[in-house]
Structure 1
Amino acid sequence: MSLLKVLVADDHAIVRSGLSFLINQQANFEVVAEAANGNEAFLKIEQYDIDLIILDLNMPPGESGLITTQRIHERYPDVGIIILSMHEEQAYIDQAIKNGAAAYILKSSSDAELLTALKTVARHKSYIDQNIILTKTDIEKINTPDLDVDLKGYTDLSNREKEILPLIALGYANKEIAAKLYISTKTVEAHKASINRKLGFKNRVDLVHYALHHGLIDF
């Protein structure tokens, strides 16, 4: 097996450091980048030609990890997504898998569980934490469209607009968004106008309500 590039995404620096140390001790794996939020993770996947990502679902303030998972899977389907989360609720687990996660590991589990997931996903197979039991009903939910959040209009947004929307909702200024995404402020303004047009928003308040209602951001 050739060396696989790993991205660790978690909002706590000490967690990223610990995960990086653990993974770098394993043969054929190297952590080449870290990210503190979903947007940063999304940008670094292409920048570092990432093979595998270990992603926390909750990295406030920022985009919901479930949405980040979906965006990464849609844009980079060959990247193996391993969710490492404190969320043990079945709804989170089902939705993460449905959105494209190849593995789901609980933060309360042992290092061995994470390493097993890492090596399994590297072989292009799925893995669920042994402490999680997927019932037949869960599998049916994952394989049907009924679990999808009702995101009317969201699917019409471009990839860049999906990146910008949560940043607007979180109150970032145009210059700050431009700096984060390495684009011009004029480009940000154009995308904001397009988002408002596609979703029928009249102001930022409408956008914030939409983002909160549909779980697009975490505080």
Structure 2
Amino acid sequence: MKVMVVDDHDLIRKGIILLLESYADIEVAADAGDGNEALVLAMQTEPDVVLMDISMPNGLDGFTTTKQLIQQQPNIKVVLLTMHDEEAYIRQAIQSGAHGYILKKSQGSDLYEAIYHVYHGQRYYRTDLSEEQIEKMMKEKEKPVSPLTLREQEVLRLTVLGYTNKEIAEKLHISAKTVENHKSNIMNKLDLKQKHEMIQYGIKNYFSDMR
């Protein structure tokens, strides 16, 4: 099974590669530090399975990269590897077409199991959500995907939860001015005029469920 590992943290990426190389039936074909690099390397190396981090820099997050990868190479299988176990993230994973979803706190054997299952054409989602909830989301897959970037969704989620611009800035390690810019972009994208409309949109679209 040819695997590509995509994660913007060198240490995490190298750790995963080391783990995968201990399995005789896995070959690490490539590794990438961001989504753009992943798209190029996938074309060059044609991996069977891609292990994909969700939060990555340089414009392309894991969801967007997954969607583009599958469009580019329909036979490729993608397992999202993340620390997020919230419904909104899992819903987006399903919308992106990801075949698997596994938490970074999982055991090494779970990672192997995820690769093995998706390689053999099965779905592998290991989260706190029940199989019934996952099934329901799979059936709702045709619902429109959020036009917001992952960072804009984070800003919106924290706004819904009642955090001030200053508190959001501290949590996301950005400036309060950048938070304000994100909010302005969110309102423009969603064609909203009032802050309360933005909060209503956030509640309706599950952002208050994200921790």
Report the secondary structure of 2:2's partner residue.
Answer: strand
Report the secondary structure of 1:78's partner residue.
Answer: coil
Counterparts of 1:97 and 1:112 in 2: how far apart (Å)? 23
- Equivalent residue number for residue 6 of structure 1: 3
**Residues 69 and 100, structure 1, Cα contact 8 Å, conserved in 2:** yes
Query: Which residue identity lines up with residue 82 of structure 1 in the other structure?
Result: V
Once the two structures are TM-superposed, the CA of residue 53 in structure 1 deviates from its matched residue by 0.5
- Equivalent residue number for residue 119 of structure 2: 122
**Residues 87 and 129, structure 2, Cα contact 8 Å, conserved in 1:** no
**Residues 147 and 189, structure 2, Cα contact 8 Å, conserved in 1:** no
For residues 21-40 of structure 1, the aligned pairs below 5 Å read: 21-40=18-37
Query: Which residue identity lines up with residue 149 of structure 1 in the other structure?
Result: S
Structure 2 gaps of 5+ residues are 149-180, 191-211
Counterparts of 2:122 and 2:113 in 1: how far apart (Å)? 11
Runs of 4+ in 1 over 6 A off after TM superposition: none
Once the two structures are TM-superposed, the CA of residue 136 in structure 1 deviates from its matched residue by 3.5
Report the secondary structure of 1:7's partner residue.
Answer: strand
For CA contacts below 8 A with separation 6 or more, give which structure has more relative contact order: 1
**Structure 1 vs Structure 2: percent identity of aligned residues?**
32
**Count of residues in Structure 1 that have an aligned counterpart in Structure 2:** 154
Query: Which residue identity lines up with residue 128 of structure 2 in the other structure?
Result: I
Once the two structures are TM-superposed, the CA of residue 142 in structure 1 deviates from its matched residue by 2.8
**Residues 5 and 28, structure 2, Cα contact 8 Å, conserved in 1:** yes
**Residues 66 and 95, structure 1, Cα contact 8 Å, conserved in 2:** yes
Counterparts of 2:85 and 2:28 in 1: how far apart (Å)? 26
- Equivalent residue number for residue 89 of structure 1: 86
Q: CA 1:213–1:30 in 2, change beyond 3 Å: closer, same or farther?
A: farther
Once the two structures are TM-superposed, the CA of residue 149 in structure 1 deviates from its matched residue by 2.0
Once the two structures are TM-superposed, the CA of residue 147 in structure 1 deviates from its matched residue by 4.8
For residues 51-200 of structure 1, the aligned pairs below 5 Å read: 51-129=48-126, 131-134=127-130, 136-144=132-140, 145-150=142-147
Query: Which residue identity lines up with residue 84 of structure 2 in the other structure?
Result: H
Once the two structures are TM-superposed, the CA of residue 75 in structure 1 deviates from its matched residue by 1.7
TM-score by length of 2: 0.66
Q: Deviations over 1:152-204 (max 9, x none)?
A: xxxxxxxxxxxxxxxxxxxxxxxxxxxxxxxxxxxxxxxxxxxxxxxxxxxxx
RMSD: 2.4
- Equivalent residue number for residue 42 of structure 1: 39
TM-score by length of 1: 0.63
Once the two structures are TM-superposed, the CA of residue 213 in structure 1 deviates from its matched residue by 5.4
Q: CA 1:118–1:34 in 2, change beyond 3 Å: closer, same or farther?
A: same
Counterparts of 1:140 and 1:69 in 2: how far apart (Å)? 21
Counterparts of 1:13 and 1:5 in 2: how far apart (Å)? 20
**Residues 98 and 143, structure 1, Cα contact 8 Å, conserved in 2:** no
